[in-house]
Amino acid sequence: MKNQIIEQTKTFVRSQLGDDATGHDWFHVDRVRRTALHICKQEQAGDPYIIEMAALLHDIPDEKLNDSAELGKNKLDSFLQSIEMVEETRDAIVQIIDTISYKGGSKTELKTIEAKIVQDADRLDAIGAIGIARTFAYGGKKGQTIYDPSISVREEMSLDEYRKGKSTSIHHFYEKLLKLKDLLNTETAKEMAESRHQTMVDFLEQFYLEWDGQDR
């Protein structure tokens, strides 16, 4: 039964996010799912079924991908009500999805190991080579410039400022991505983050050289 529900969930998520151009497409979701299950296995912790379901559905209610936060939440609730699942499991999945988002860096306490694992997997997909690619995909779709040296990096942000304030794709590295390595929960994720973090540091170094018309 669980395998059937997972397949049904995959089909639903593909139908909702399959052609997304902001870096939140099906392939992102599938990477998060696979990474979360890998962390679960390595850490020997958490319920794999809850982890997989939460990873698959984590972007469905995202307000960035819906006309409003309320509509996104309704979409998630409607799907979860359409499948056969005990209320306790459904509540656990919703609780994970509600708490793992970055939201400008505001710290939300995660109550379960499952939430920590899904959050780690999602954050790992935001850094490294894929994280770089996703940053510029999202920035372009949002209409942001690649870089503007006259804009200051925002240190402390409300959720509204994080979502709507003026920034650039390069600034996003300092406002979020370079911070993620130190915000991970599990030892497995921390180890995976090391090389991905260094990839971003190396990229930025090369970016500024080329920005100034130099070469190595």
Mean pLDDT within 113-127? 97
Question: pLDDT, tens digit, for every residue of 14-43?
Answer: 999 888 888 899 999 999 999 999 999 999
Domains and CATH numbers, the chain: 2-211 (1.10.3210.50)
Q: Which range (3-7, 14-18, 91-95, 193-197) has the least confidence? A: 14-18
Question: pLDDT, tens digit, for every residue of 148-200?
Answer: 999 888 776 556 555 566 789 999 999 999 999 999 999 999 999 999 999 99
Question: pLDDT, tens digit, for every residue of 56-87?
Answer: 999 998 888 777 878 888 899 999 999 989 99
Using a 10 angstrom Cβ sphere, with 0-12 exposed, 13-18 middle and 19 or more buried, the burial of residue 1 is: exposed
Question: What is this structure's pTM?
Answer: 0.91
Q: Is 113 helix (H, G, I), strand (E, B) or coil?
A: helix
Among residues 107, 5, 91, 105, which one has the least CA distance to residue 56? Answer: 5
